[in-house]
Amino acid sequence: MRQTLRRNVTAHGFLLGALLCFALFSWYPMIREIVMSFQRTKRGHTRWVGLDNLDLLTQDPAFWQAWRNTLLFTVLALALGFAVPFVVAIVLNELRHAKGYLRVLVYLPVMMPPVASVLLFKYFYDPGYGLFNNILHTLHLPTSAWLNSSDTAMISVVIAATWMNMGGATLIYLAALQTIPGELYEAAELDGAGLLRRIWHVTIPQTRLILSLLLLLQIVATMQVFVEPYLLTGGNGPQGSTTTVVYLIYQYAFNFNNYGAASALGLVLLLVLAAFSAVYVRLSRNND
Amino acid sequence: MRTLISDTQLNRRRGRIVYRIVLCLVVGGFTLVFLGPLYWLVTGGLKTTQEVIQNPPTLFPHSVHFDTYGEAWSKMRMGRLLFNTLYYAFGALAFQLVFDVAAAYALSKLRPVLGNVILGMMLATLMIPSAVLIVPQYLTVLDLPLLHVNLVNTPWAIWLPTVANAFNIFLLKRFFDSVPDELLAAASVDGAGPLRTLWSIILPMSRPILGVVSIFAVVNVWKDFLWPLLVQTDPKNQTLNIGITSLSTGVPQNVVIAALAIASAPTVVFFLIFQRNIMAGLTAGSIKG
Protein backbone atom coordinates (compact mmCIF):
# COMPACT_ATOMS: atom_id res chain seq x y z
CA MET A 1 0.00 0.00 0.00
CA ARG A 2 2.61 2.50 1.10
CA GLN A 3 4.85 1.31 -1.70
CA THR A 4 2.13 1.90 -4.29
CA LEU A 5 1.57 5.37 -2.92
CA ARG A 6 5.27 6.12 -3.07
CA ARG A 7 5.54 4.83 -6.61
CA ASN A 8 2.62 7.02 -7.63
CA VAL A 9 4.07 10.11 -6.03
CA THR A 10 7.40 9.54 -7.77
CA ALA A 11 5.69 8.92 -11.09
CA HIS A 12 3.61 12.06 -10.87
CA GLY A 13 6.72 13.95 -9.86
CA PHE A 14 8.34 12.82 -13.11
CA LEU A 15 5.21 13.86 -14.99
CA LEU A 16 4.84 17.27 -13.38
CA GLY A 17 6.86 19.45 -15.74
CA ALA A 18 5.30 18.10 -18.92
CA LEU A 19 1.88 18.04 -17.31
CA LEU A 20 2.04 21.74 -16.42
CA CYS A 21 3.22 22.68 -19.89
CA PHE A 22 0.45 20.66 -21.53
CA ALA A 23 -2.11 22.21 -19.20
CA LEU A 24 -0.95 25.77 -19.79
CA PHE A 25 -0.12 25.66 -23.48
CA SER A 26 -2.42 22.97 -24.91
CA TRP A 27 -5.39 22.00 -22.78
CA TYR A 28 -6.29 25.38 -21.35
CA PRO A 29 -5.93 27.21 -24.70
CA MET A 30 -8.14 24.54 -26.28
CA ILE A 31 -10.94 25.24 -23.79
CA ARG A 32 -10.35 28.95 -24.16
CA GLU A 33 -10.52 28.65 -27.94
CA ILE A 34 -14.00 27.15 -27.68
CA VAL A 35 -15.19 29.65 -25.07
CA MET A 36 -13.86 32.68 -26.94
CA SER A 37 -15.58 31.59 -30.14
CA PHE A 38 -18.89 32.46 -28.51
CA GLN A 39 -17.75 35.66 -26.84
CA ARG A 40 -17.01 39.18 -27.88
CA THR A 41 -14.81 41.66 -26.05
CA LYS A 42 -15.39 45.38 -26.44
CA ARG A 43 -13.45 47.94 -24.42
CA GLY A 44 -12.37 45.34 -21.89
CA HIS A 45 -15.92 44.09 -21.42
CA THR A 46 -16.58 40.45 -22.43
CA ARG A 47 -20.01 39.04 -23.08
CA TRP A 48 -21.56 35.94 -24.64
CA VAL A 49 -22.78 36.48 -28.17
CA GLY A 50 -23.78 32.98 -29.27
CA LEU A 51 -23.11 32.44 -32.94
CA ASP A 52 -22.66 36.15 -33.76
CA ASN A 53 -18.96 35.65 -34.45
CA LEU A 54 -19.78 33.02 -37.03
CA ASP A 55 -22.37 35.35 -38.58
CA LEU A 56 -19.80 38.08 -38.81
CA LEU A 57 -17.36 35.71 -40.49
CA THR A 58 -19.78 34.35 -43.04
CA GLN A 59 -20.73 37.89 -44.06
CA ASP A 60 -17.09 38.67 -44.75
CA PRO A 61 -16.30 37.87 -48.41
CA ALA A 62 -12.70 37.23 -47.33
CA PHE A 63 -13.93 34.25 -45.31
CA TRP A 64 -15.21 32.38 -48.36
CA GLN A 65 -12.26 33.41 -50.44
CA ALA A 66 -9.85 32.22 -47.74
CA TRP A 67 -11.53 28.81 -47.74
CA ARG A 68 -11.47 28.58 -51.53
CA ASN A 69 -7.80 29.57 -51.54
CA THR A 70 -6.90 27.15 -48.77
CA LEU A 71 -8.66 24.24 -50.49
CA LEU A 72 -6.99 25.14 -53.77
CA PHE A 73 -3.63 25.29 -52.04
CA THR A 74 -4.26 21.92 -50.38
CA VAL A 75 -5.27 20.22 -53.62
CA LEU A 76 -2.32 21.65 -55.54
CA ALA A 77 0.11 21.01 -52.70
CA LEU A 78 -1.04 17.40 -52.46
CA ALA A 79 -0.88 16.86 -56.20
CA LEU A 80 2.75 17.98 -56.05
CA GLY A 81 3.74 17.35 -52.47
CA PHE A 82 2.24 13.88 -52.11
CA ALA A 83 2.87 12.33 -55.52
CA VAL A 84 6.31 13.77 -56.24
CA PRO A 85 7.97 12.50 -53.04
CA PHE A 86 6.48 9.04 -53.56
CA VAL A 87 7.79 8.76 -57.11
CA VAL A 88 11.13 10.22 -56.05
CA ALA A 89 11.37 7.72 -53.18
CA ILE A 90 10.62 4.78 -55.50
CA VAL A 91 13.29 5.93 -57.95
CA LEU A 92 15.84 6.60 -55.21
CA ASN A 93 15.21 3.17 -53.72
CA GLU A 94 16.11 1.54 -57.05
CA LEU A 95 19.36 3.41 -57.53
CA ARG A 96 22.57 1.61 -56.56
CA HIS A 97 24.73 4.73 -56.69
CA ALA A 98 24.74 8.28 -55.32
CA LYS A 99 21.93 7.41 -52.93
CA GLY A 100 23.42 9.20 -49.96
CA TYR A 101 24.12 12.29 -52.03
CA LEU A 102 20.56 12.42 -53.39
CA ARG A 103 19.02 11.94 -49.97
CA VAL A 104 21.08 14.79 -48.61
CA LEU A 105 20.02 17.02 -51.51
CA VAL A 106 16.32 16.35 -51.17
CA TYR A 107 16.44 16.99 -47.43
CA LEU A 108 18.60 20.11 -47.60
CA PRO A 109 15.74 22.62 -48.05
CA VAL A 110 13.93 21.16 -45.04
CA MET A 111 16.85 22.24 -42.88
CA MET A 112 16.88 25.81 -44.15
CA PRO A 113 15.08 28.56 -42.26
CA PRO A 114 11.83 29.22 -44.16
CA VAL A 115 12.61 32.89 -44.57
CA ALA A 116 15.69 31.97 -46.64
CA SER A 117 13.86 29.62 -49.01
CA VAL A 118 10.82 31.84 -49.36
CA LEU A 119 12.63 35.11 -49.98
CA LEU A 120 14.95 33.33 -52.41
CA PHE A 121 11.94 32.08 -54.36
CA LYS A 122 10.46 35.56 -54.26
CA TYR A 123 13.65 36.77 -55.93
CA PHE A 124 13.40 34.01 -58.57
CA TYR A 125 9.75 34.84 -59.21
CA ASP A 126 10.40 38.51 -59.99
CA PRO A 127 8.79 39.11 -63.40
CA GLY A 128 11.58 41.48 -64.47
CA TYR A 129 14.95 40.19 -63.34
CA GLY A 130 13.83 36.86 -61.84
CA LEU A 131 15.56 33.63 -62.76
CA PHE A 132 12.39 31.73 -63.68
CA ASN A 133 11.18 34.13 -66.34
CA ASN A 134 14.69 34.28 -67.76
CA ILE A 135 14.84 30.51 -68.05
CA LEU A 136 11.41 30.46 -69.70
CA HIS A 137 12.49 33.28 -72.00
CA THR A 138 15.70 31.47 -72.99
CA LEU A 139 13.68 28.34 -73.79
CA HIS A 140 11.27 30.50 -75.87
CA LEU A 141 8.39 29.63 -73.57
CA PRO A 142 5.78 32.17 -72.47
CA THR A 143 6.84 33.97 -69.30
CA SER A 144 4.57 34.44 -66.31
CA ALA A 145 3.70 37.18 -63.84
CA TRP A 146 4.07 34.58 -61.04
CA LEU A 147 3.19 36.20 -57.73
CA ASN A 148 1.90 39.38 -59.30
CA SER A 149 -1.13 37.86 -60.99
CA SER A 150 -4.14 36.46 -59.20
CA ASP A 151 -4.15 33.52 -61.65
CA THR A 152 -0.66 32.29 -60.90
CA ALA A 153 0.02 33.57 -57.38
CA MET A 154 -1.26 30.44 -55.64
CA ILE A 155 0.53 27.93 -57.85
CA SER A 156 3.73 29.92 -57.33
CA VAL A 157 3.25 29.61 -53.58
CA VAL A 158 2.67 25.86 -53.97
CA ILE A 159 5.85 25.34 -56.00
CA ALA A 160 7.93 27.11 -53.38
CA ALA A 161 6.23 25.19 -50.58
CA THR A 162 6.84 21.85 -52.29
CA TRP A 163 10.52 22.60 -52.81
CA MET A 164 10.83 23.52 -49.15
CA ASN A 165 8.96 20.58 -47.68
CA MET A 166 9.17 17.53 -49.90
CA GLY A 167 12.34 16.15 -48.26
CA GLY A 168 10.61 14.92 -45.13
CA ALA A 169 7.93 12.94 -46.96
CA THR A 170 10.51 11.52 -49.37
CA LEU A 171 12.68 10.16 -46.58
CA ILE A 172 9.72 8.67 -44.76
CA TYR A 173 8.54 6.92 -47.93
CA LEU A 174 12.06 5.73 -48.55
CA ALA A 175 12.20 4.22 -45.08
CA ALA A 176 8.84 2.54 -45.66
CA LEU A 177 10.00 1.15 -49.01
CA GLN A 178 13.02 -0.41 -47.34
CA THR A 179 10.79 -2.44 -45.04
CA ILE A 180 9.14 -4.27 -47.96
CA PRO A 181 10.43 -7.88 -48.01
CA GLY A 182 12.31 -8.60 -51.22
CA GLU A 183 10.62 -12.00 -51.58
CA LEU A 184 7.34 -10.25 -52.44
CA TYR A 185 8.92 -8.66 -55.50
CA GLU A 186 10.55 -11.95 -56.40
CA ALA A 187 7.26 -13.80 -56.16
CA ALA A 188 5.49 -11.12 -58.22
CA GLU A 189 8.22 -11.32 -60.81
CA LEU A 190 7.94 -15.10 -61.03
CA ASP A 191 4.24 -14.63 -61.61
CA GLY A 192 5.15 -12.47 -64.58
CA ALA A 193 4.25 -9.08 -63.11
CA GLY A 194 5.89 -6.17 -64.93
CA LEU A 195 7.34 -3.08 -63.34
CA LEU A 196 4.10 -1.10 -63.02
CA ARG A 197 2.16 -4.12 -61.77
CA ARG A 198 4.81 -4.74 -59.13
CA ILE A 199 4.44 -1.13 -57.97
CA TRP A 200 0.67 -1.44 -58.00
CA HIS A 201 0.40 -4.85 -56.35
CA VAL A 202 3.42 -4.89 -54.04
CA THR A 203 4.84 -1.42 -53.36
CA ILE A 204 1.59 0.46 -52.84
CA PRO A 205 -0.24 -2.15 -50.71
CA GLN A 206 2.87 -2.68 -48.59
CA THR A 207 3.24 1.03 -47.89
CA ARG A 208 -0.49 1.75 -47.80
CA LEU A 209 -0.61 2.49 -44.09
CA ILE A 210 2.20 5.01 -44.15
CA LEU A 211 0.89 6.51 -47.40
CA SER A 212 -2.57 7.11 -46.04
CA LEU A 213 -1.27 8.39 -42.74
CA LEU A 214 1.04 10.84 -44.48
CA LEU A 215 -1.79 11.90 -46.75
CA LEU A 216 -3.85 12.83 -43.71
CA LEU A 217 -0.93 14.59 -42.03
CA GLN A 218 -0.20 16.53 -45.20
CA ILE A 219 -3.82 17.62 -45.54
CA VAL A 220 -3.78 18.83 -41.95
CA ALA A 221 -0.43 20.59 -42.44
CA THR A 222 -1.21 22.20 -45.79
CA MET A 223 -4.57 23.52 -44.64
CA GLN A 224 -2.69 25.49 -42.01
CA VAL A 225 -0.41 27.18 -44.51
CA PHE A 226 0.73 30.62 -43.36
CA VAL A 227 4.43 31.38 -43.82
CA GLU A 228 4.66 30.93 -47.57
CA PRO A 229 1.84 33.28 -48.55
CA TYR A 230 2.69 35.69 -45.72
CA LEU A 231 6.23 36.13 -47.00
CA LEU A 232 5.71 35.68 -50.74
CA THR A 233 2.70 37.90 -51.32
CA GLY A 234 2.35 39.74 -48.03
CA GLY A 235 -0.53 37.42 -47.11
CA ASN A 236 -3.41 38.53 -49.27
CA GLY A 237 -1.76 38.55 -52.67
CA PRO A 238 -3.26 40.10 -55.81
CA GLN A 239 -7.04 40.44 -55.35
CA GLY A 240 -6.84 38.34 -52.20
CA SER A 241 -5.80 35.32 -54.24
CA THR A 242 -3.49 33.92 -51.56
CA THR A 243 -5.41 34.78 -48.38
CA THR A 244 -5.48 31.52 -46.43
CA VAL A 245 -7.63 30.58 -43.47
CA VAL A 246 -4.76 30.86 -40.99
CA TYR A 247 -3.74 34.20 -42.44
CA LEU A 248 -7.32 35.37 -41.96
CA ILE A 249 -7.21 34.18 -38.33
CA TYR A 250 -4.03 36.19 -37.94
CA GLN A 251 -5.65 39.25 -39.49
CA TYR A 252 -8.77 39.06 -37.35
CA ALA A 253 -6.76 38.61 -34.16
CA PHE A 254 -3.81 40.91 -34.65
CA ASN A 255 -4.92 43.48 -37.23
CA PHE A 256 -8.59 43.87 -36.31
CA ASN A 257 -8.17 42.91 -32.63
CA ASN A 258 -11.23 40.73 -32.87
CA TYR A 259 -10.19 37.68 -30.85
CA GLY A 260 -13.73 36.30 -30.84
CA ALA A 261 -14.01 36.11 -34.61
CA ALA A 262 -10.45 34.79 -34.86
CA SER A 263 -11.28 32.02 -32.40
CA ALA A 264 -14.51 31.18 -34.17
CA LEU A 265 -12.61 30.86 -37.43
CA GLY A 266 -10.05 28.66 -35.68
CA LEU A 267 -12.85 26.46 -34.39
CA VAL A 268 -14.30 26.12 -37.90
CA LEU A 269 -10.86 25.11 -39.17
CA LEU A 270 -10.56 22.59 -36.35
CA LEU A 271 -13.95 21.06 -37.21
CA VAL A 272 -13.10 20.83 -40.91
CA LEU A 273 -9.80 19.11 -40.17
CA ALA A 274 -11.50 16.82 -37.64
CA ALA A 275 -13.96 15.84 -40.37
CA PHE A 276 -11.02 14.89 -42.62
CA SER A 277 -9.53 12.81 -39.82
CA ALA A 278 -12.86 11.10 -39.15
CA VAL A 279 -13.18 10.16 -42.81
CA TYR A 280 -9.62 8.83 -42.69
CA VAL A 281 -10.29 6.72 -39.60
CA ARG A 282 -13.49 5.36 -41.14
CA LEU A 283 -11.76 4.47 -44.41
CA SER A 284 -8.71 2.89 -42.81
CA ARG A 285 -10.94 0.82 -40.55
CA ASN A 286 -12.99 -0.44 -43.48
CA ASN A 287 -9.83 -1.46 -45.25
CA ASP A 288 -8.43 -3.62 -42.47
CA MET B 1 18.50 -6.19 -50.46
CA ARG B 2 16.05 -7.03 -53.20
CA THR B 3 13.99 -4.04 -54.42
CA LEU B 4 11.48 -3.37 -57.16
CA ILE B 5 13.98 -4.18 -59.90
CA SER B 6 16.25 -7.18 -59.47
CA ASP B 7 20.01 -7.05 -59.84
CA THR B 8 19.89 -9.61 -62.65
CA GLN B 9 17.57 -7.37 -64.61
CA LEU B 10 19.87 -4.41 -64.05
CA ASN B 11 22.90 -6.41 -65.11
CA ARG B 12 21.49 -7.19 -68.50
CA ARG B 13 22.80 -4.99 -71.30
CA ARG B 14 19.58 -3.05 -71.72
CA GLY B 15 19.07 -2.77 -67.99
CA ARG B 16 22.54 -1.31 -67.57
CA ILE B 17 22.00 1.33 -70.24
CA VAL B 18 18.60 2.36 -68.93
CA TYR B 19 19.97 2.45 -65.38
CA ARG B 20 22.87 4.67 -66.43
CA ILE B 21 20.53 7.12 -68.17
CA VAL B 22 18.11 7.26 -65.26
CA LEU B 23 20.97 7.71 -62.79
CA CYS B 24 22.44 10.60 -64.79
CA LEU B 25 19.04 12.27 -65.15
CA VAL B 26 18.24 11.92 -61.46
CA VAL B 27 21.64 13.09 -60.24
CA GLY B 28 21.70 15.99 -62.71
CA GLY B 29 18.10 16.97 -62.07
CA PHE B 30 18.43 16.84 -58.30
CA THR B 31 21.63 18.85 -58.33
CA LEU B 32 19.99 21.49 -60.48
CA VAL B 33 16.76 21.65 -58.49
CA PHE B 34 18.15 21.47 -54.96
CA LEU B 35 21.69 22.83 -55.20
CA GLY B 36 20.93 25.36 -57.94
CA PRO B 37 18.96 27.72 -55.66
CA LEU B 38 21.68 27.43 -53.01
CA TYR B 39 24.31 28.37 -55.57
CA TRP B 40 22.20 31.40 -56.44
CA LEU B 41 21.90 32.22 -52.75
CA VAL B 42 25.64 32.20 -52.16
CA THR B 43 26.65 33.99 -55.38
CA GLY B 44 23.80 36.51 -55.12
CA GLY B 45 25.42 37.83 -51.97
CA LEU B 46 28.69 38.30 -53.85
CA LYS B 47 27.20 40.46 -56.60
CA THR B 48 26.82 44.22 -56.62
CA THR B 49 23.43 45.83 -56.02
CA GLN B 50 23.10 46.55 -59.74
CA GLU B 51 24.19 43.12 -60.88
CA VAL B 52 21.85 41.21 -58.60
CA ILE B 53 18.79 42.78 -60.24
CA GLN B 54 20.27 42.80 -63.72
CA ASN B 55 18.25 41.36 -66.56
CA PRO B 56 19.26 38.76 -67.72
CA PRO B 57 20.83 37.47 -64.48
CA THR B 58 24.50 36.54 -64.53
CA LEU B 59 25.57 32.99 -63.73
CA PHE B 60 28.92 34.11 -62.31
CA PRO B 61 29.39 37.41 -60.46
CA HIS B 62 31.31 39.91 -62.60
CA SER B 63 33.41 40.88 -59.65
CA VAL B 64 33.33 39.26 -56.24
CA HIS B 65 32.18 41.48 -53.36
CA PHE B 66 32.71 39.79 -50.03
CA ASP B 67 31.92 43.05 -48.27
CA THR B 68 28.20 42.54 -49.02
CA TYR B 69 28.28 39.78 -46.42
CA GLY B 70 29.87 42.16 -43.94
CA GLU B 71 27.25 44.76 -44.73
CA ALA B 72 24.48 42.18 -44.28
CA TRP B 73 26.02 41.07 -40.98
CA SER B 74 25.93 44.59 -39.54
CA LYS B 75 22.85 46.06 -41.26
CA MET B 76 20.63 43.05 -40.56
CA ARG B 77 22.08 42.53 -37.05
CA MET B 78 22.84 38.92 -37.97
CA GLY B 79 24.99 38.26 -34.91
CA ARG B 80 22.15 39.16 -32.58
CA LEU B 81 19.57 37.19 -34.58
CA LEU B 82 21.79 34.11 -34.78
CA PHE B 83 22.50 34.22 -31.07
CA ASN B 84 18.80 34.59 -30.23
CA THR B 85 17.79 31.70 -32.45
CA LEU B 86 20.48 29.42 -31.02
CA TYR B 87 19.55 30.42 -27.48
CA TYR B 88 15.87 29.66 -28.07
CA ALA B 89 16.61 26.42 -29.93
CA PHE B 90 18.95 24.91 -27.37
CA GLY B 91 16.87 26.11 -24.44
CA ALA B 92 13.83 24.45 -25.99
CA LEU B 93 15.89 21.31 -26.51
CA ALA B 94 16.96 21.21 -22.85
CA PHE B 95 13.42 21.68 -21.54
CA GLN B 96 12.01 19.07 -23.90
CA LEU B 97 14.68 16.52 -23.04
CA VAL B 98 14.21 16.91 -19.30
CA PHE B 99 10.43 17.18 -19.07
CA ASP B 100 9.35 14.96 -21.95
CA VAL B 101 11.82 12.18 -21.17
CA ALA B 102 10.75 12.22 -17.53
CA ALA B 103 7.07 12.17 -18.47
CA ALA B 104 7.47 9.41 -21.05
CA TYR B 105 9.45 7.34 -18.56
CA ALA B 106 6.77 7.79 -15.91
CA LEU B 107 4.02 6.82 -18.36
CA SER B 108 5.94 3.87 -19.75
CA LYS B 109 7.59 2.30 -16.72
CA LEU B 110 6.24 3.79 -13.48
CA ARG B 111 2.62 3.60 -14.69
CA PRO B 112 0.91 5.85 -12.13
CA VAL B 113 -2.83 6.02 -11.45
CA LEU B 114 -4.57 7.87 -14.29
CA GLY B 115 -1.43 7.42 -16.38
CA ASN B 116 -3.40 6.21 -19.36
CA VAL B 117 -5.86 9.08 -19.06
CA ILE B 118 -2.99 11.56 -19.04
CA LEU B 119 -1.35 9.84 -21.98
CA GLY B 120 -4.64 9.91 -23.86
CA MET B 121 -5.13 13.60 -23.15
CA MET B 122 -1.59 14.33 -24.30
CA LEU B 123 -1.96 12.32 -27.50
CA ALA B 124 -5.32 13.97 -28.13
CA THR B 125 -3.47 17.26 -28.65
CA LEU B 126 -1.91 15.69 -31.74
CA MET B 127 -5.35 15.97 -33.29
CA ILE B 128 -5.47 19.72 -32.73
CA PRO B 129 -3.82 21.64 -35.54
CA SER B 130 -1.30 24.03 -34.04
CA ALA B 131 -2.54 27.05 -35.97
CA VAL B 132 -6.00 26.71 -34.40
CA LEU B 133 -4.66 27.40 -30.94
CA ILE B 134 -2.47 30.32 -31.89
CA VAL B 135 -4.84 33.01 -30.58
CA PRO B 136 -5.69 31.51 -27.15
CA GLN B 137 -2.06 30.42 -26.74
CA TYR B 138 -0.93 33.95 -27.39
CA LEU B 139 -3.44 35.32 -24.88
CA THR B 140 -2.27 32.73 -22.34
CA VAL B 141 1.36 33.74 -22.76
CA LEU B 142 0.35 37.39 -22.52
CA ASP B 143 -1.16 36.79 -19.10
CA LEU B 144 -0.27 33.41 -17.63
CA PRO B 145 -3.19 32.00 -15.58
CA LEU B 146 -2.77 32.05 -11.77
CA LEU B 147 0.70 33.60 -11.94
CA HIS B 148 -0.38 36.60 -14.04
CA VAL B 149 2.99 37.08 -15.66
CA ASN B 150 3.54 38.26 -19.20
CA LEU B 151 5.95 35.96 -21.03
CA VAL B 152 5.96 37.94 -24.27
CA ASN B 153 9.48 39.03 -25.17
CA THR B 154 11.01 36.52 -22.76
CA PRO B 155 12.62 33.25 -23.88
CA TRP B 156 10.10 31.32 -21.77
CA ALA B 157 7.42 32.13 -24.36
CA ILE B 158 9.39 29.99 -26.80
CA TRP B 159 10.78 27.36 -24.45
CA LEU B 160 7.81 26.25 -22.37
CA PRO B 161 5.20 25.70 -25.11
CA THR B 162 7.63 23.40 -26.94
CA VAL B 163 7.48 20.98 -23.99
CA ALA B 164 3.78 20.37 -24.71
CA ASN B 165 4.78 18.17 -27.64
CA ALA B 166 2.74 14.98 -27.75
CA PHE B 167 4.82 13.62 -30.60
CA ASN B 168 7.88 13.57 -28.33
CA ILE B 169 5.94 11.80 -25.61
CA PHE B 170 4.64 9.27 -28.12
CA LEU B 171 8.06 8.51 -29.65
CA LEU B 172 9.84 8.32 -26.31
CA LYS B 173 7.17 6.23 -24.61
CA ARG B 174 7.11 3.75 -27.46
CA PHE B 175 10.85 3.43 -27.30
CA PHE B 176 10.88 3.04 -23.52
CA ASP B 177 8.13 0.40 -23.79
CA SER B 178 10.54 -1.76 -25.76
CA VAL B 179 13.05 -1.81 -22.88
CA PRO B 180 12.43 -5.18 -21.16
CA ASP B 181 10.90 -4.93 -17.69
CA GLU B 182 13.22 -7.72 -16.41
CA LEU B 183 16.15 -5.37 -16.91
CA LEU B 184 14.48 -2.74 -14.74
CA ALA B 185 13.50 -5.34 -12.16
CA ALA B 186 17.13 -6.43 -11.99
CA ALA B 187 18.23 -2.83 -11.48
CA SER B 188 15.61 -2.44 -8.79
CA VAL B 189 16.92 -5.54 -6.98
CA ASP B 190 20.36 -3.97 -7.09
CA GLY B 191 18.88 -1.01 -5.27
CA ALA B 192 18.52 1.50 -8.12
CA GLY B 193 15.75 4.06 -7.68
CA PRO B 194 13.62 5.34 -10.57
CA LEU B 195 15.93 8.24 -11.40
CA ARG B 196 19.01 6.02 -11.35
CA THR B 197 17.26 3.44 -13.56
CA LEU B 198 16.29 6.12 -16.05
CA TRP B 199 19.78 7.63 -16.10
CA SER B 200 21.92 4.48 -16.22
CA ILE B 201 19.77 1.95 -18.03
CA ILE B 202 17.07 3.54 -20.14
CA LEU B 203 18.82 6.65 -21.43
CA PRO B 204 21.96 4.89 -22.69
CA MET B 205 19.74 2.46 -24.60
CA SER B 206 17.63 5.27 -26.04
CA ARG B 207 20.31 7.24 -27.82
CA PRO B 208 18.74 6.88 -31.29
CA ILE B 209 15.36 8.18 -30.18
CA LEU B 210 16.90 10.95 -28.08
CA GLY B 211 18.77 11.97 -31.22
CA VAL B 212 15.53 12.16 -33.18
CA VAL B 213 13.79 14.19 -30.48
CA SER B 214 16.77 16.55 -30.20
CA ILE B 215 16.97 17.16 -33.93
CA PHE B 216 13.27 17.90 -34.15
CA ALA B 217 13.47 20.18 -31.11
CA VAL B 218 16.25 22.34 -32.57
CA VAL B 219 14.94 22.34 -36.13
CA ASN B 220 11.40 23.21 -35.04
CA VAL B 221 12.53 26.34 -33.22
CA TRP B 222 14.90 27.23 -36.05
CA LYS B 223 12.09 27.00 -38.57
CA ASP B 224 9.15 28.32 -36.57
CA PHE B 225 7.67 31.51 -37.91
CA LEU B 226 4.18 32.44 -36.72
CA TRP B 227 4.79 31.88 -33.00
CA PRO B 228 8.02 33.93 -32.69
CA LEU B 229 6.38 36.56 -34.88
CA LEU B 230 3.76 36.97 -32.15
CA VAL B 231 5.74 36.52 -28.95
CA GLN B 232 9.09 38.14 -29.80
CA THR B 233 8.05 41.59 -30.91
CA ASP B 234 11.06 43.47 -29.56
CA PRO B 235 13.69 43.70 -32.36
CA LYS B 236 16.46 42.74 -29.95
CA ASN B 237 14.72 39.43 -29.10
CA GLN B 238 13.78 38.39 -32.62
CA THR B 239 14.73 35.14 -34.32
CA LEU B 240 16.45 34.88 -37.70
CA ASN B 241 13.19 34.29 -39.54
CA ILE B 242 11.40 37.27 -38.05
CA GLY B 243 14.35 39.62 -37.91
CA ILE B 244 15.29 39.15 -41.53
CA THR B 245 11.68 39.50 -42.63
CA SER B 246 11.21 42.80 -40.84
CA LEU B 247 14.58 44.20 -41.89
CA SER B 248 14.47 43.02 -45.50
CA THR B 249 12.32 45.89 -46.79
CA GLY B 250 14.34 48.90 -47.78
CA VAL B 251 17.63 47.02 -47.92
CA PRO B 252 19.26 46.30 -51.31
CA GLN B 253 18.49 42.86 -52.75
CA ASN B 254 22.11 41.66 -52.64
CA VAL B 255 22.37 42.46 -48.93
CA VAL B 256 19.13 40.57 -48.24
CA ILE B 257 20.42 37.55 -50.17
CA ALA B 258 23.72 37.65 -48.30
CA ALA B 259 21.76 37.70 -45.03
CA LEU B 260 19.70 34.71 -46.18
CA ALA B 261 22.90 32.83 -47.00
CA ILE B 262 24.29 33.60 -43.54
CA ALA B 263 21.03 32.47 -41.94
CA SER B 264 21.04 29.19 -43.86
CA ALA B 265 24.69 28.36 -43.33
CA PRO B 266 24.51 27.05 -39.73
CA THR B 267 21.74 24.53 -40.35
CA VAL B 268 23.14 23.45 -43.69
CA VAL B 269 26.60 22.89 -42.20
CA PHE B 270 25.09 21.18 -39.15
CA PHE B 271 23.12 18.94 -41.49
CA LEU B 272 26.11 18.10 -43.68
CA ILE B 273 28.23 17.17 -40.65
CA PHE B 274 25.57 15.09 -38.93
CA GLN B 275 23.65 13.97 -42.02
CA ARG B 276 24.30 10.28 -41.35
CA ASN B 277 22.94 10.55 -37.82
CA ILE B 278 20.07 12.80 -38.85
CA MET B 279 18.97 10.51 -41.69
CA ALA B 280 19.39 7.37 -39.61
CA GLY B 281 17.49 9.03 -36.77
CA LEU B 282 14.69 10.22 -39.02
CA THR B 283 14.19 6.87 -40.69
CA ALA B 284 14.42 4.97 -37.40
CA GLY B 285 11.92 7.37 -35.90
CA SER B 286 9.50 7.07 -38.76
CA ILE B 287 9.51 3.29 -38.88
CA LYS B 288 9.29 2.84 -35.13
CA GLY B 289 6.92 5.75 -34.67
Mean pLDDT of chain B: 88
More confident residue, B127 or A120: A120
Distance of CA B145 to the CA centre of its chain: 29
- pLDDT for B279 equals 75
How is domain B80-247 classified at the CATH fold level?
Answer: MetI-like fold (1.10.3720)
Q: Is the pLDDT of residue A196 over 60?
A: yes
- pLDDT for B147 equals 86
Q: A50-287 falls under which CATH superfamily? A: MetI-like (1.10.3720.10)
* Contact state of A102 with B44 under an 8 Å Cβ cutoff: no
- B23 backbone dihedrals φ, ψ, rounded to 5°: -60, -45
Per residue in A99-124, pLDDT (tens digit) is 888 989 999 998 899 999 999 999 99
Of the ranges A134-148, A212-226, B19-33, the best mean pLDDT one: B19-33
Residues 6+ apart with CB under 8 A from B244: A115, A116, A119, B76, B81, B256, B259, B260, B263
- pLDDT for B87 equals 96
- pLDDT for B287 equals 45
Mean pLDDT of chain A: 89
Interface check A21 vs B, CB under 8 A: yes
In A, minimum Cα distance to B218 occurs at A111
- In A43-82, the residues whose Cβ lies within 8 Å of chain B are none
Q: Is the pLDDT of residue B284 over 70?
A: no
Q: Is residue A122 within 8 Å of residue A232, measured between CB atoms? A: yes
Q: Is residue A119 within 8 Å of residue B244, measured between CB atoms? A: yes
Per residue in A208-225, pLDDT (tens digit) is 888 888 888 888 888 999
Residues in B closer than 8 angstroms to A112, CB to CB, are 264, 267-268
**Domain spans, chain B:** 7-70, 80-247
- Of the pLDDT bands very low, low, confident and very high (cuts 50, 70, 90), residue B273 is confident
Q: What residue type is assigned to position A136 of the chain?
A: L
Residues in B closer than 8 angstroms to A168, CB to CB, are 282
- Of the pLDDT bands very low, low, confident and very high (cuts 50, 70, 90), residue B288 is very low
Number of CB pairs, chain A paired with chain B, less than 8 A apart: 293
Interface check A185 vs B, CB under 8 A: yes
Q: Is the pLDDT of residue B289 over 50?
A: no
- At B7, is the secondary structure helix, strand, or coil? helix
Residues in B closer than 8 angstroms to A114, CB to CB, are 223, 225, 241
Q: Is the pLDDT of residue A127 over 90?
A: no
Q: Is the pLDDT of residue B7 over 90?
A: no
* Contact state of A270 with B128 under an 8 Å Cβ cutoff: yes
Find, among A237, A74, A100, A76, the residue nearest to A159 by Cα: A76
Per residue in A172-187, pLDDT (tens digit) is 888 888 888 888 888 8
Find, among B268, B34, B267, the residue nearest to A92 by Cα: B34
Mean pLDDT of B149-173: 93
- Of the pLDDT bands very low, low, confident and very high (cuts 50, 70, 90), residue A207 is confident
Mean pLDDT of B79-106: 95
Q: Is the pLDDT of residue A239 over 90?
A: no
* Contact state of A30 with B169 under an 8 Å Cβ cutoff: no
Mean pLDDT of A21-36: 94
* Contact state of B102 with A195 under an 8 Å Cβ cutoff: no
Mean pLDDT of A186-190: 86
Distance between B193 CA and the closest CA of chain A, angstroms: 10
Residues 6+ apart with CB under 8 A from A12: A19, B106, B112
